Chains A and B, each alone.
Chain A
């Protein structure tokens, strides 16, 4: 049989959907044989993550007729992955997930061409991401999600303030945690983006590094201090932290107690240490399967226009029976990421007596969830670095600013700040507005 013949048999089911009209089709849908060609030959899909969700996504995409697929993953295969990451075998342990997954799919599904990238998403720039028609995320990292979200927004082109839709790359995002999961579609610039709905994410408890290092108040601050700063420095067991090793937890427990004593903080317990250090997210194979199936179905709908797509956020929960619910997450007009780049971004603060360290805590709080913000004030004459925790020499020189108020740092209504953080591919430029000025 000819290659085309095999192909038409391979996807005969899809052709029934794409080449015939029906009562549940989208009203604008025009059935044609061209659509399968588009899906197979022109629709380039990027899958981010080749783990639990990623394996499912790649398999589903291949079986739904997509052939031009790229996959990025920076991890290697571990024994504990094998129960659900079904593209991997025992012999693959230690090899890059992206490469093994791609090889498996390419061998198993004829015609499919998955191209692996064993690296971080941050290793690629705009030119790389611009080549795709759809991006699907199966990640467990919120930082990476936020980064790719902002990257896709940055690719948008506006023509006289009107969004040019050909520059839009839909982002389909899947996430699972135990028996719960969600799938959503983001049309950057048009519908709610990850950043618009940051408050949906279980507020990951992370603390600003400056608080951990200089002004701890909570027992968790002390534990994080030992985990993030003291362990790498003293390296007591000549290896990285293993949350399952009682001697590791014991060491962190003791050091955290010492640190807590220095600051008269109470409440450090062995259990709390375990909780903070391990931060475990359980993985359930069937949840991954449901969420990945939803994501790829939506990719198929987007690529073919055959049916209306998810609008726009689906939650799934099978802890107690099966529960699912879809609603329209709302786009924030003043979103720092997806409002048009030409619109000035304002940040409203209560008053100019706010201390810089309070401001940093505010940036790290629920609303913005930054991890390690570096802050530079863009004054007319010159830029002034207010604080950067990551670079010891700068941290030392700017540490005194933490205790100063924004007013003392010459920040007035209308001052522009440049804030950079790992959650974004580019720094954020914001204009400060105070509700109240102290005299």
Chain B
């Protein structure tokens, strides 16, 4: 019989096992991908089904400012996944306070709040939320953030202009309506 009381009294719980054994990026991403459970506004695209480390996910929001648009994100999963988050870039030029013109995305779980227990699914939900609730507090595109804070109607018009294809201020956006 195992003697919990004595075991725990003498030695603390073993912690040598903290090195994760079989969590190579490949294994883990296989699981993440197999268990993707995306909202119906999202689609995936794998150029090569054998390469699960590089893929694209397209989000077509069905509500909010960005309704009717279609935005594609590229995912690059590095060798340290899931200890480091994947690199995610927005490939569709978008007028958004938390996405800059190079496609960098400001989402907490892609940086400071990333935890290995999070999955590709969690990121997609996070991205989808960015389109529903753009957050002017923590901007990457300062101009867009200022407009959102000062006048929601103008912000909405700007988003529409950008999604139809055209200039907002001096910046040109490609059409990205569905």
Contacts and interface: CB of A to CB of B under 8 A. Distances in A.
A156 B1 contact: no
B36 A391 contact: yes
Given A124-B117, A397-B49, A427-B30, A167 B6 contact: no
B2 A302 contact: yes
Given A157-B14, A374-B34, A427 B2 contact: no
A305 B27 contact: no
A105 to B, nearest CB: 22
Contacts of A374: 30-31, 33-34
Given A385-B49, A390-B35, A426-B23, 6 more contacts: A126-B20, A133-B4, A164-B16, A165-B2, A393-B45, A429-B27
A383 interface: yes
Contacts of B44: 391-394
B150 interface: no
A56 B33 CA distance: 38
Interface of A: 26, 28, 34-35, 38, 42-43, 123-127, 130-131, 133-134, 154-157, 164-168, 170, 187, 190, 302-305, 308-309, 341, 372-374, 376, 382-385, 388, 390-394, 397-398, 418, 420-422, 426-427, 429
Contacts of A420: 27, 30-31, 34-35
A303 B33 contact: no
A395 to B, nearest CB: 9
B117 A43 contact: no
B4 A305 contact: yes
Contact of A390 (B8, B26, B34): B34
A253 B128 CA distance: 35
A308 B8 CA distance: 18
Interface in B128-172: none
List the 7 closest pairs (A to B, CB-CB), nearest first: A374-B34, A167-B14, A420-B31, A157-B17, A125-B117, A397-B49, A385-B49
B26 to A, nearest CB: 6
B30 A376 contact: yes
Nearest to A123: B117
B178 interface: no
A134 B35 CA distance: 29
6 contacts: A167-B16, A168-B2, A341-B22, A388-B33, A427-B22, A427-B27
A372 B34 contact: yes
B41 interface: no
Contact of A426 (B4, B9, B27): B27
B169 to A, nearest CB: 36
A47 B28 CA distance: 27
Given A341-B22, A420-B30, A420-B35, A35 B7 contact: no
Given A124-B117, A374-B30, A398 B49 contact: yes
Nearest to B23: A426
A301 B80 CA distance: 42
B5 A304 contact: yes
B11 to A, nearest CB: 5
